[in-house]
C-alpha cells in the first residue's frame, strides 16, 4: 500500500503548476499501466486523503488505464499480454519488449480559476 506515497508525489508535481497560475486544481488525469505497481482502486481511495488541505483539495482524480502490450524480439509479433504472461503468445519466446503497461504518468492538470468559479455561484 504505497499509493499514499504516490499521491504525495503527484501533489508535488501539481502544486507548482497551481501556484504558478494561482488557481486551485479541479481535476488530475493519470495514465496508469497494470505493471506500474500501483492499484487503481487504492489510488482513488488515497487521493482525497493526500489532497486534503492542499491546492488539490476536492479535485477529481481520473485514471486512464494503459493497455498491456508486448512485442516479441524473436518473431516480431505484437499483442496483448497478461501481467504474469509477458512471453510471446504466438511463438512462445520469453524475450519480449514491453510496448505499454508500466506507465504511471501525470497526463493533465486542470485548474479552475477562482473568478470563473465565482461567476457560477
Task: Quote the cell numbers at residue 105.
Answer: 504518468
Shortest CB 53 distance to another protein, Å: 19
Shortest CB 99 distance to another protein, Å: 11
Q: Is 80 helix (H, G, I), strand (E, B) or coil?
A: strand
Cβ nearer to another protein, comparing 2 with 75: 2
92: Cα separation from own chain's centroid: 31
Question: What count of other Cβ atoms lies within 10 Å of the Cβ of residue 96?
Answer: 21
Cβ nearer to another protein, comparing 16 with 76: 16
Which parts of this chain interact with another protein (CB under 8 A)?
Answer: 1-2, 5-6, 9-10, 12-13, 16-17, 19-21, 23, 30-31, 35-38, 64, 70, 83-87, 94-96, 98, 103-113, 116
Look at residues 51, 58, 46 and name the one whose alpha carbon lies nearest to residue 12: 51
Amino acid at each position: 500500500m504505497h499509493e499514499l506515497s504516490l499521491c504525495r508525489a503527484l501533489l508535488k508535481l501539481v502544486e507548482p503548476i497551481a501556484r504558478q497560475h494561482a488557481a486551485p486544481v479541479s481535476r488530475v488525469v493519470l495514465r496508469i499501466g497494470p505493471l506500474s505497481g500501483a492499484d487503481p482502486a487504492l489510488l482513488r481511495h488515497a487521493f482525497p486523503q493526500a489532497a486534503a488541505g492542499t491546492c488539490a483539495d476536492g479535485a477529481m482524480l481520473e485514471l486512464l488505464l494503459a493497455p498491456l502490450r508486448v512485442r516479441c524480439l524473436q518473431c516480431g509479433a505484437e499483442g496483448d499480454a497478461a501481467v504474469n504472461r509477458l512471453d510471446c503468445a504466438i511463438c512462445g519466446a520469453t524475450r519480449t519488449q514491453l510496448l505499454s503497461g508500466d506507465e504511471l504518468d501525470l497526463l493533465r492538470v486542470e485548474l479552475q480559476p477562482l473568478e470563473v468559479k465565482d461567476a457560477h455561484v
